[in-house]
Amino acid sequence: MEIITGLQKTQLQTLSYFELSADELAKTYAPGKWTVRQLLHHITDADTVLYDRIRRTISNPGQVIWAFDQDLWAQGLDYGTFPLDLNKAVYKATRAAVIHLAQQHYAGAAEKEFVHSATGLRTLKDEFDKVVWHNQRHLDQITQALES
């Protein structure tokens, strides 16, 4: 399945970035934007949130699921000092679980729906696809930061 390929591809690339040097982790893709380090923390947090939405939708379709404020998470969880090795482990485990659930549920995922508090009606398929899209978008920003 294409979704599994996308999940695995973005996972491998993301995991490699957790091994960057301190100088590389401090780079940013544009003035005033998050550093590579902060992006890795955000990717991990977003994956955990999306994983939770996926699980909730599989288990109890139709519910309202609340949005999260990424900037408040970055500030409250102190992305500047939070241990990167901890989030590497969280990212790796969460992504493995998302892949497992995609293998089981993606084929019928368009039928299960939930209501996102900010964007409205969404499907389980939307959320699986968002895991790949979101991760790739930030991988592109990391690539841009490392090339600057």
18 with 88: CB under 8 angstroms? yes
Angle among Cα 147, 37, 124 to the nearest 5 degrees reads 100
Non-local (6+) Cβ contacts of 7 within 8 A are 95, 98, 99, 102, 131, 132
Per-residue pLDDT at 148 exceeds 90: no
Average pLDDT for residues 15-19, to the nearest whole number? 98
The label of the residue with tokens 């690339």 reads: 13
Task: Provide the whole-model pTM.
Answer: 0.96
Average pLDDT for residues 123-148, to the nearest whole number? 97
45-100: pLDDT as tens digits: 999 999 999 999 999 999 999 999 999 999 999 999 999 999 999 999 999 999 99
pLDDT band of residue 110 (cuts 50, 70, 90) is confident
Average pLDDT for residues 128-139, to the nearest whole number? 98
- In order of start, what are the domains of the chain with their CATH numbers? 2-147 (1.20.120.450)
Cα-trace Rg, the chain: 15
70 with 120: CB under 8 angstroms? no
Candidates 21, 53, 18, 45; CA nearest to 127 is: 53
